[in-house]
Chains A and B, each alone.
Chain A
Amino acid sequence: MSSPGEPLVVLDAVTFRYPGPPPVLAVRWATLRVSAGEHVALTGASGSGKSTLLNLMGLLDRPTAGRVLFDGADLSAAPEPDRAAVRACRVGFVFQSFHLLPNRTAAENVMLGQVYAGVPRARRIDLAMHALDRVGLAARAWALPSQLSGGERQRVAVARAVVNRPWLLLCDEPTGNLDSAATAQLLGLFDELHADGIAVVVVTHNPAVSGRAERRVSMRDGVLTDASGGDLGADPQAS
């Protein structure tokens, strides 16, 4: 893994337009550097472009203009298998709406994250149980999503995102469905991951969550501003 402080993911003058119709310019000229092991909170009004920005950082979407660098490599125009490889082994996603497969147990949902990362089958269950244990759900490993509460499903999604020990964890409003106790537990987990050197970018409206982050950035109408007054990692091309 890149050592702490080194840039892990860099958005370099990234613009993203949804083709529509009508076309929507969801991200405008955004420049952001997230270092290895950094903990960043992303805030902003609904529709300001936070989810779109997260998709760009996680290599789910390709920018309309600008570059996305991951661990130093420009992957914005890289072949899809290269981007898939980074998603499989280096990035963990926690989606706003969980995206668990309804007919698979919690453990099986976590193990799906190991399939494309090429984790040997014999090691999957132990690693999955460990990840579920970290989110406090080891006892519910064999429950189906329909048998879990919203908060528990969210934690299964978190377990799936961290099971491959990614370098970057991207969370889209992870506490939206959680009560304060569960939120506190999730924040504790973020701290642990941070301590492990995993960079975390979390989209949130919850001040308790953004308060824990080292850095807060916010979006408005697709434009990225630094809410904590720090350096956004200004345009690397400029120098």
Chain B
Amino acid sequence: MRIRRRRDTAPAVRSRLSAGDLARESLAGILQRPGRSALTMLGTVLGIGTFVVVLGLSETANGQISKNFNALLATQVTVTDTGAANATTPTLDFPSDASVAADRINGVIAAGVWWQVLLGSATAAQVSNLPGDDAPAGVNLPVYAADPGALRASQPSLANGVLFNAFDQAEREPVAVLSAAAAAQLGVLGAASQPTVFIAGQAFTVVGIIRSDSRLPQFGLGLIVPASTALADWGLPQPAQPAQMIIRTRVGAAQVVARQAAVAIRPDDPGLLSAAAPAAPTTLRNAVAASLRTLLLSLAAVAVIVGALGIANTSLVAIMERTAEIGLRRALGARPGHIAAQFLTESAVLGLGGGVIGTGAGVVITLAVTVAERWTAILEPTVVLLALPAGAVVGLVAGLYPALRASSIEPAEALRR
């Protein structure tokens, strides 16, 4: 009797595991022990969830700080007259062209000098809507001297009328801008009729009324007159209330402008002035938050690693328990690769499940804290988009070794169990 020669070609048939079957068999493996699968996911849920919460909340908190900060302070520089503060007699170290010089600095939108006028030692002047002598006792209101640049820089919100301008400054016009509060106290209803008010007995024409001034809130309490008029009528600023310059800059330019301002305004003696952009609070808060954030992220990383170990451990235990099943599948024609693929998919799905649940929980917690704190939620979409597959990657990595073990189980040996 003869047998055929050894055939070198592979058998005409193939063993297969379609993607659909792989998904179904893996899912069946996971659902076989739902309680254990849920516990296995827990580590990944905690890890990924913590990542999302920490990143989401620190992002949101940062956003709140810079939101309050950016609008005004990040675009503002204050130049103080340190020379005058150290003097004993009225002094003004800002030259008359100070605003023009400041305007030339790159990044400056508007700049101007202002100070509070002190008549005698009083911080408030007698102001009335009737001429001096026969006036009933007027009201006490603070009076500010400001050049038009200062008003352009501080941007008061105008209720009616106009702000005084370069012409008024040049001509030392006796004009005044009233705050709404002062107007109410003085019985001034509007600027349209150009009413007159008397500051320490001197007549000023009201050209405009402002509602408020968020950069220089004190402007919202008193009267503002052109700096030139104030100088002419009441002299230099008193050392107790030295002049300041307010500079409005473009976003991000404040620090740079502050460094150049003193030299630009007083090239002959910059030491008389000192310019400061308010320290960016974000820098400080970030430094504090960053260490906490690093700690929490480290904890999250530990949780993710624990989650991965949990998946690896459960998979190894499952493979021990399911040795006979593995042997059966091999007997039914599964290749070692098919076994590895099934267990790897099970681990990846467990990880993905943990990632999805963790991300969902993280987003919900972030939103809950945000709502409780009345913040605006700022959740980087990339954080969420990366957190979801991160779980699957954790599962894949954790499942690699168990899957390899499962695929190297000898079928005949496994079936003997």
Contact = CB atoms under 8 A, between A and B. Distances in A.
A82 interface: yes
Contacts of A75: 11
A2 to B, nearest CB: 9
Most chain B CB within a 10 A radius of its CB, from A72, A73, A78, A103:
A73
Contacts of B411: 60-61
B328 interface: yes
A58 B4 CA distance: 19
B101 to A, nearest CB: 83
Contacts of A117: 13, 15-16, 333
A47 to B, nearest CB: 13
Contact of B332 (A10, A72, A116, A233): A116
A90 B411 CA distance: 17
Interface string A79-104: 11110111111100101000101011
Nearest to B328: A99
A85 B16 CA distance: 8
A74 interface: yes
Interface size class, chain A: 35 or more
Interface string B1-32: 11111110111011111101100010010001
B248 interface: no
A84 B3 contact: no
Interface in A199-216: none
Contacts of A7: 1, 3-4
B331 A236 contact: no
B329 interface: yes
B332 A236 contact: no
A233 B335 CA distance: 31
Nearest to B336: A80
B324 interface: yes
A93 B325 contact: no
Given A60-B330, A60-B331, A69-B6, A86 B16 contact: no
B39 interface: no
Which of B330, B334, B336, B412 gathers most chain A CB within 10 Å?
B412
Nearest to A82: B10
A90 B16 CA distance: 14
A72 B3 contact: yes
B406 to A, nearest CB: 14
Given A72-B7, A87-B333, A61 B15 contact: no
Nearest to A78: B10
B2 A236 contact: yes
A25 to B, nearest CB: 16
Given A73-B6, A115-B21, A84 B415 contact: no
A69 B11 CA distance: 12
B327 to A, nearest CB: 8
A86 B330 CA distance: 11
Contact of A80 (B3, B331, B335): B335
A87 B15 contact: yes
A191 interface: no
Interface in A217-239: 231, 233, 236, 239
A84 B335 contact: yes
Given A61-B412, A115-B21, A87 B14 contact: no
A24 B243 CA distance: 105
A173 to B, nearest CB: 14
Contact of B15 (A71, A81, A236, A239): A81
Interface of B: 1-7, 9-11, 13-18, 20-21, 25, 28, 32, 324-325, 327-338, 410-412, 415
Interface of A: 7, 10, 33, 55, 58, 60-61, 69-75, 78-82, 84-90, 93, 95, 99, 101, 103-104, 112-113, 115-118, 121, 160, 231, 233, 236, 239
9 contacts: A60-B411, A72-B5, A80-B335, A84-B333, A84-B334, A85-B10, A88-B333, A117-B333, A121-B18
